[in-house]
Amino acid sequence: MFRFFENLVDPYVAYEEKDAPPRRLLAFLRDYARPFRKVFAAAIAVKVVTALTEVGLLWYMGRIVDFLAGEEPRAALAAHWMELTAAAVFVLVLRPFIAGLDVALLHNTIVPNLRTLVSWRAHRHILRQPVGWFENDFAGRIANRVMQTPPATSDAVFQLLDALAFAFTTFLGSVALLSAVDARLMVPLVVWFLGYVLLLRVSVSRVAPAAQAASGARSAVTGRIVDSYANIHSVKLFAHDDREIAYAGEAIENARIALQREMRIITRMDILLTALNGALIVGLSALAVWLWYAGTASIGIVAVATAMALRLNNMTYWIMWASTALVQALGTVAEGMETIAQPIGLVDRAGARALDLREGRIEIQGLSHHYGRGSGGLAAIDLTIRPGEKVGIVGRSGAGKSTLVKLLLRFYDAEAGTIRIDGQDIACLTQASLRRHIGMVQQETSLLHRSVRDNILYGRPEATEAEMIEAAKRAEAHEFIEALRDPAGHGGYDAQVGERGVKLSGGQRQRIALARVILKDAPILVLDEATSALDSEVEAAIQNTLYGVMEGKTVIAIAHRLSTIARMDRIVVLEDGRVAEEGSHAQLLAMKGLYARFWDRQSGGFIGLDDHNEGTAG
């Protein structure tokens, strides 16, 4: 039975991915809820039947009171035993079936599948964002919004279907029942209803912004705490535990204040609701008694009216809390939308085609990019790298080296100029096909919080075990990998490396990253200080490996340690975002220009850097 309801909706059903999702709350929810339309309709229909059943039971209670009060007990039971038996069967069999259907649609079909669908689609959308988008936000806050929006969405739908639909049907059924007995019984009910709607409207209008502010404050707490944890080495290195506690404490206090404001509104709402419900109980019961006293209503009607007032009294607290929970959930969804409904900042052009790489020629013409600041980055670069050529890129921090690589990988769209690979403008290619043909080892190596095997196979998931191990051996990594053990008892290639590879040394992380790129075997290779974290002995061994890996590939190698690129076919010196010099190592030394000065000032093989900070413009 459970499997039937659980499989009514496929949360992974194919859908049209949108570069610009709806930014309005209702449109956003409607877009995500589209696969559930038929299930929602069925759930509402069952909820209406459930509510009418409860109203019908109240009516039947009044009928029982009337015939028990009007007849001798033995005669009453003799006359109505079949009716009472049928009512008992309904309550014992049919009512549980209706209730089970109601609960199964909500709990087994809608809630888990809607949460899964929102999580799946939100994560897919976030991963399509460009690198620059992630650089402008906390990873913790992004993750928090992705994680809190799905349950908030399902909570909102649950409250709408479970509470509000039930309450609306119950109220209409109550009106119909009382009006059929005596239209005057509707007066206190209608007056109460108008007061209740007014209270609900005022309270919800105030709770909504308060709930969104509280949700935003909670996200800020998560962002700050995760930032501290993710940079725990820096926190401990500088002994700034107290500073981090104060930094998080500020956000925690803001969250407390935001929650207090929200709770004040709810407390006032609860007090006013209690007074309003008291007026309903007294008014409806007193009117029913007066009608009985006047001889126009039976004792059963008094019982029904009183029971109805008490039921509505209990239900209104539920509805008020459900309405508050609904608004809080919608506030959380609205806050989450600030992240998961943002348009994709960098998309493939219409009709973009896959890169057809034949030789690996890279042509850069008039390339400029300043990150929207008007300065820094690159300024009108012209550079051609021949197929199979090995080119070293050097320059002070901020000269534009990293910017050049980011534009080549199309992490950003260039503000001006073009990059062509084998004559194809990379702006007209699909991003995935472009990056599949480029292998890169970065200076700051970041590994996935998975096993060593998973990290190396990330370069080519379909590779065999033997190919993976061979890549590790070529990266001088196999021996230390075999000796690895993690706290869970996994060893060797199954050992977990920790978040961002924190359980490994810098050199070990770098060698695993090298193995990953070796396994990928891409025709274009980018090395950004690929051996900077290695000791001299390991670096010397890997340098030979790298030159072997470079054979037949077009290579761009960024280096501060000039000895690592001295054997390159050509070296390009960048200064202030422009090409200042280029030539072989010997030619550049003979020029006695920037490169020669860098070489002369080296200490341990590094450029003598000035105080420029490369940052995102590097």
How does pLDDT run across 453-470, given as a tens digit for each residue? 999 999 999 999 999 999
The type of residue at 600 is D
- Please check whether residue 251 is in contact with residue 144, taking contact to mean a CB–CB distance below 8 angstroms: no
Q: Nearest-CA neighbor of 549 among 610, 497, 475, 448?
A: 475
Question: pLDDT digit string (tens) for 399-413?
Answer: 888 889 999 999 989
Question: Which pLDDT does position 167 carry in this prediction?
Answer: 75
d(CA 391, CA 398): 19
Copy the structure tokens of residue 275.
């007074």
pLDDT at 614 over 70: no
| Distance of alpha carbon 569 from alpha carbon 289, whole angstroms | 103
Label residue 548 by pLDDT band (50, 70, 90).
Answer: confident
Residue 338 exposed, middle or buried by CB count within 10 Å (0-12, 13-18, 19+) = middle
For residue 616, is pLDDT > 70? no
Quick one: pLDDT at residue 534? 60
Backbone angles phi, psi at 183, to 5 degrees: -60, -25
Q: How far apart are CA 50 and CA 26, in angstroms?
A: 27
**Domains of the chain, earliest start first:** 22-340 (1.20.1560.10), 357-437+567-610 (3.40.50.300)
- φ/ψ region of 605 (left if φ > 0, alpha if ψ in -120 to 50, else beta) reads left
pLDDT the model gives residue 287? 85
Per-residue pLDDT reduced to its tens digit, 161-180 = 877 777 777 777 777 777 77
Residue with tokens 């500020």: 250
Assigned token pair, 181: 């007995």
Q: Which residue has the tokens 């209730």?
A: 99
How sure is the predictor about 374, in pLDDT bands with cuts at 50, 70 and 90?
Answer: low
Torsion region of 314: left, alpha or beta (phi above 0 gives left; psi -120 to 50 gives alpha) = alpha
Indicate whether 532 pLDDT > 70: no
